[in-house]
Chains A and B, each alone.
Chain A
């Protein structure tokens, strides 16, 4: 892989991207690029960490306590974050700037590091959540943690991919791992069903995505994003409407991304899969998988196809509007809380799509901020759902939350904060997430999208109110009949909840640091192209 990709762009050695000369057919010598190991470190830590865990677990099965897997996974993900920090410093250094590793196959810029950190945070929270879950459900083995780390590496590769084929590989590493994770709870048929559905539709969308890559390759002569970008911006002029290959490629890529981020009308799988998958896995899907998908979408459309933003914007506009409205409207008619949050995550995807649609640096920064904030809100919410789901992971009806505030006021209060954050109430991360997205839309003078987004936020608020009503305002007569017992909150899940809640509130009060990071993560994305 490394040698071949070197043909697509040659690295001058100091890391500055310079496109390679067109390569003649029949050339036999393959230039070996300099590999910047340090740039690969976050990805390598995740991949090697995952494989090592698999090996250890296979060799010493039943001799390693379960909690050790959790701690190991958290440590590996934290290690990846730590490895990413020096890269951030290097990338932000005005003289050195973003650079490519492995000859243009991977780009290291603020953007990719930001997403890497988000995904690793998602992994840490999910791992903490999974600890108590696996114990409660009696699921043996560390496979979930292995897959979690591998999926995360896929996500980080997607975020850093500078070549469409590498992007596809990252996407598949992520997706295949998550297919298995969704089917992990093999004794629940709904889990298998979720895995199968996700697999069929995921493979379907991957095929579309791949076909899109093939067409773009045919039109532009390369799969390297820089080459594609240069081709699109070439002075000879590319007229999109006359270039069927390119047009088809754009459309198919958009369909593929639409499936991955669960944008309406490609969302049909999401509610079923979210509902059926083990709840910690749902949390991972809603946070890290979504982050990876949007990272790739931003990189491909806003960065690589930025020249033609006018042509793809109307389509993304439609996707955003549909996701916002359909997601929030269908969410409020559900009675299963997991399904509710599945639809609400579709509406959230609509908000992030608003950030994509405006196709500006501000929009990208807003989308990044949204992803960061949403990761904590949604993992926290699914953490509560995991805990309330009880043994068998099946108590997810609205009625299962009845009277929760009386039995477990702290848990109910934490859930309330997370739900209010998702609704976008001030002094939570969710408010500023929406604020930045809307301000990016207004800045681009896209008032209609901003208004639709805000209206959909109000519709979605009703959904969160319904859950809160169930927890707090069930009448006494209902409460007496068949009120469920207290649910135990495992320590690790408690930690995850605490972290998610604190981060959500702290960002709500002091959004500045994350805002600045998100802003810093953007310009370099654009410069790489």
Chain B
């Protein structure tokens, strides 16, 4: 994807900087909210939703204007930010980030509508809008420092959302979340600077934080690239989260308010997997290739571990949280299979997981609002008292399990297909995760919805119109992508193919020995794991 190609795709006939508007609108909304009176809760919500919808609508328009055949970055907008350091406001989307932007544009308005903060609504909506601006920015940033800035800034709104509007142990969860993710990304800043400065001194060019230039230059040596990749990978692994560094996630998810959980699951976790693709694979093809067995292993461990732990949960929300760990594992093995199917599946699965887990969190939130408990043992027989709720829950749950005909199947299937082609044994073990997902979700469903309701469960209200309307777009998308994924895949494909070609070209450049994905000697893998473990 040379720079010349980017320029050609520049603005796609949209006469104004579309991406800048998508990022700036929510931030502007937050500023507007700050000026509104605190007491007018309805007005505050209306304004917040309006700004989120406006930004979301622009992202849909972008989807419509997106040039399917073009594999480079589109809607590029670029301005100098800090000239002496070669840092610019450089935004653009390709097939990989396109649907993540659209997903953010869809999920944020839904989360805002679904939210019902108990206190200080003004701050709540303002933080949500800032979170939206930050996530959008992170998905479209093509300048390393700009990406880092957005990647970091999303912590602050999320911290306040969990800490101020969360449940029980919220302060602990919020602090843990903040420190974990900040520690992860702290070293990435050193990595970014090392990459930029080493590239500049090796190529003799000026200092630049331009992603495309850096990726095309491949200006750092083999060993340095691997070290820098480690610093990047740590940040992304915490965000995903991968197995040993996932412990912040169940706490944060469980204690966060519904809107926070939805965004956390649907959008923020994707920053990690997206980071692996855009800033791991693209910048360090060889290092990614070299470390692939490690991350495949961690992904598989995450799938199995998440599923097993989810099975044992008594708290419905915690169960969904652990199911996220498992699902993100599929995305990771899809990505690190390093072939077109796996990557496509990974990207698609990011969107699917956002839709289905986001929807699950909203539904769990509905149940909590009615029963003020999330204990599975306290619930039961809800199918009788709230049939519509149960129906919607079934669809979403089946999508999460990966039943054919719903979106989860397509993504998971492609990921696993990629894994089988590239890394057979990991793929085989991962398939086990699909079965386990069915086990914990169906079992939970059985305990919560089947049986005969007693006490408060019997008097449970069914979905209201507002709640129903919230679920309509989510269920619609779940079914649509499941039945007819072609339009989505067609947009993802060119960029993924280009990325795979980029990786193949550069891995050959380095002329490393081919890594054998087939039956891997156990000892070899362990040794790598230990080496990496020391680094963490």
Report the Cα distance A127→B376, complex, angstroms.
61
**Is the interface on chain B under 10, 10 to 19, 20 to 34, or 35 or more residues?**
20 to 34
The reply on B164 being an interface residue by CB < 8 A is yes
- A469 surroundings in chain B (CB, below 8 A): 163, 171, 175
What's the minimum C-beta distance from B126 to chain A, rounded to whole angstroms?
Answer: 10
Query: Chain A contact residues: over half helix, strand or loop, or mixed?
Result: helix
Given the complex, which residues of A lie within 8 Å of B187, measured CB to CB?
Answer: 451, 454-455
Any chain B CB within 8 A of the CB of A516?
A: yes
CB-based contact A442/B193 at 8 Å: yes
Does chain B have a CB within 8 A of A231? no
The reply to whether A473 and B193 contact each other, CB–CB distance below 8 Å, is no
Least CB distance from A391 to B in Å reads 29
A438 to B187, CA, bound (A): 11
With the chains together, A412 CA to B369 CA distance in Å?
30
Kindly list chain B residues whose C-beta atoms are within 8 Å of the C-beta of A434: 189
CB-based contact A439/B178 at 8 Å: no
Annotate B165-206 by CB proximity to A: 1 below 8 A, 0 otherwise: 000001100110011001100110110011001000000000
Task: Answer whether residue A247 sits at the interface, using C-beta atoms and an 8 A cutoff.
Answer: no
Residue from A420, A450, A473, A516 in contact with B84 in the complex, judged by beta carbons closer than 8 Å: A516
Q: Assess whether A519 is interfacial by the CB under 8 Å rule.
A: yes
Is B197 a contact partner of A443 (Cβ separation < 8 A)? yes
Chain A nearest CB from B159 CB (Å) reads 8
Bound complex: CA A227 to CA B462 (Å): 87
Q: In this assembly, does B153 line the interface, its C-beta being within 8 Å of a C-beta of chain A?
A: yes
Question: Is B315's beta carbon under 8 Å from chain A?
Answer: no
Q: Nearest residue in B to A410 (C-beta to C-beta)? A: B34
Contacting pair A458 B82 (CB below 8 A): no
Whole-angstrom distance from the CB of B229 to the nearest CB of chain A? 15
Q: Is A310 an interface residue (CB 8 A)?
A: no
In contact, A458 and B179 (Cβ under 8 angstroms):
yes
Q: Are A420 and B190 in contact (CB under 8 A)?
A: no
B152 within 8 A of A: yes
Q: Do A462 and B194 touch across chains, with their CB atoms under 8 A apart?
A: no
Asked if B193 contacts A472 (CB within 8 A), the reply is no
Whether B179 pairs with A447 at a CB distance below 8 angstroms is: no
Contacts of B81 in A (CB 8 A): 512
Q: How distant is the Cα of A457 from the Cα of B83 in the complex, in angstroms?
A: 26
B517 in the interface (beta carbon within 8 A): no
Which of B145, B148, B164 has a CB less than 8 Å from the CB of A473? B164
In-complex Cβ contact of A458 among B160, B171, B182 (8 A): B182
Q: Known: A426-B149, A427-B149, A516-B84. Contact between A439 and B197, CB under 8 A?
A: yes
**CB distance B186 to A457 under 8 Å?**
yes
A512 pairs with B82, CB closer than 8 A = yes
In the complex, A181 has a CB within 8 A of chain B: no
* A148 lies within 8 A of chain B by Cβ: no
Contact partners of B152 in chain A: CB under 8 A: 425-426, 431
- 8 Å CB interface, B283-334 against A: none
Using a CB-CB cutoff of 8 Å, which residues 130-148 of chain A contact chain B?
none
In angstroms, Cα B83 to Cα A434, docked, is 18
Asked whether A473 lies within 8 Å of B171 as measured between CB atoms, the reply is: yes
Report the nearest B residue to A425, measured CB to CB.
B156
B171-A519 in contact (CB<8A): no
| A451 near B149: Cβ-Cβ < 8 Å | no
Tell me if A435 counts as interface (CB < 8 A to partner B). Answer: yes
Contact indicator A455/B183 (Cβ below 8 Å): yes
B153 touches A427 (CB 8 A): yes
CB under 8 Å from chain B, chain A span 441-500: 442-443, 447, 450-451, 454-455, 457-458, 461-462, 465, 469, 472-473
Residue of A nearest to B38 (CB): A409
**Is B443 positioned at the interface, with any CB of A under 8 Å from its CB?**
no
A256 lies within 8 A of chain B by Cβ: no
- The residues of A that contact B484 with a CB separation of less than 8 Å are none
Interface check B85, CB cutoff 8 A: yes
B149 touches A511 (CB 8 A): no
A447 touches B189 (CB 8 A): no
B186 and A455 contacting across the interface, CB-CB below 8 Å: yes
CB distance from B212 to the nearest CB of A (A): 21
**Bound CA–CA A482/B150 (angstroms):** 40
User: Is the Cβ of B148 less than 8 Å from the Cβ of A426?
Assistant: yes
Known contacts A472-B164, A473-B163; A420 and B175 CB within 8 A of each other: no
A473 touches B170 (CB 8 A): yes
Which of chain B's residues 256-302 have a Cβ closer than 8 Å to chain A? none
A510 to B356, CA, bound (A): 40
How many residues from A make CB contacts under 8 Å with B? Answer: 30
**B171 CB contacts on chain A under 8 angstroms:** 469, 473
Q: Which chain A positions have C-beta within 8 A of B160?
A: 472
Complexed CA–CA distance, A389 and B34 (Å): 27
Of B84, B148, B179, the residue contacting A462 (CB under 8 A) is B179
A309 within 8 A of B: no
Q: A455: nearest residue on chain B (CB-CB)?
A: B186
Q: Which residues of B contact A439 (CB under 8 A)?
A: 85, 193, 197
Residue contact B194 to A442, C-beta cutoff 8 Å: yes
Contact of A335 with B by CB under 8 A: no
Complex Cα spacing A451 to B189, Å: 9
In the complex, whether A515 has a CB less than 8 A from a CB of chain B is: yes
Query: In the assembled complex, how far is the CB of residue B314 from the closest CB belonging to chain A, in whole angstroms?
Result: 24
CA distance A118 to B323 in the complex (A): 53
A450-B197 contact, Cβ under 8 Å, with A515-B85, A516-B84: no
| CA–CA, A439 and B189, complex, Å | 9
Segment 95-148 of A: residues with Cβ below 8 Å from B? none
A437–chain B nearest beta-carbon distance, Å: 11
Give Cα distance in the complex from A450 to B175, angstroms: 24
Residue of A at shortest CB range from B182? A458
Q: Given A425-B152, A425-B156, A454-B186, verify A462-B175 contact (CB < 8 Å).
A: yes
CB distance from A22 to the nearest CB of B (A): 43
Q: For residue A465, which residues in chain B have a CB less than 8 angstroms away from its CB? A: 159, 175, 178-179
Q: A425-B156, A454-B189, A472-B160 are in contact. Are A512 and B83 (CB under 8 A)?
A: yes
Taking the closest CB of chain A, its distance from the CB of B200, in whole angstroms, is: 9
Q: How far is the CB of B42 from chain A (nearest CB, A)?
A: 20
- Asked whether A450 and B190 contact (CB < 8 A) given A472-B160, A515-B85, the answer is yes
CB <8 Å contact, B194 and A461: no
B179 near A461: Cβ-Cβ < 8 Å: yes
Check A519/B84 contact, CB under 8 A, given A439-B197, A442-B197. yes
**Chain B residues, Cβ within 8 Å of A442:** 190, 193-194, 197
- Shortest A443–chain B CB gap in Å is 5
How many Å lie between the Cα of A425 and that of B189 in the bound state?
12
Chain B residue numbers with a CB within 8 Å of A443 are: 193, 197
Q: Give the nearest-CB partner of B180 in chain A.
A: A458
Distance between Cα atoms of A425 and B159 in the complex (Å): 13
Q: How far is the CB of B358 from chain A (nearest CB, A)?
A: 25
Q: Tell me whether B178 and A461 are in contact (CB under 8 A).
A: yes
Q: Contact: A515 with B156, CB < 8 Å?
A: no
Select from chain B the residue with minimum beta-carbon distance to A426: B149
CA distance A469 to B123 in the complex (A): 15
CA distance A512 to B86 in the complex (A): 11
Q: Is the CB of A425 within 8 A of B153?
A: yes
For the complex, what is the distance from the CA of A420 to the CA of B159, rounded to whole Å? 12
Residue of B nearest to A461 (CB): B182
Q: Within residues 390 to 428 of chain A, which ones have a CB less than 8 A from any CB in chain B? A: 409, 420, 425-427
Residues of A within 8 A of B155 (CB): 425
B166 — nearest CB in chain A belongs to which residue?
Answer: A473
Residue of B whose beta carbon sits closest to that of A435: B189
Q: Which residue of A lies closest to B152 (CB)?
A: A426
| Contact yes or no, A511 B197, CB < 8 A | no
Contact pattern, B 76-93, Cβ under 8 Å of A = 1, otherwise 0: 000001111100000000
17 A-B pairs in the complex with CB atoms less than 8 angstroms apart: A409-B123, A426-B148, A431-B152, A435-B189, A435-B193, A438-B189, A439-B193, A442-B193, A450-B193, A451-B190, A458-B182, A465-B178, A469-B171, A469-B175, A473-B164, A512-B82, A512-B84
**Can you name 6 extra interface pairs (CB under 8 A) apart from A427-B149, A454-B189?**
A425-B155, A426-B148, A438-B190, A451-B187, A461-B178, A469-B163
Which A-B residue pairs are the 5 nearest by beta carbons? A454-B186, A426-B149, A442-B193, A458-B183, A450-B190
The residues of B with any CB-CB pair to A shorter than 8 Å are 81-85, 123, 145, 148-150, 152-153, 155-156, 159-160, 163-164, 170-171, 174-175, 178-179, 182-183, 186-187, 189-190, 193-194, 197
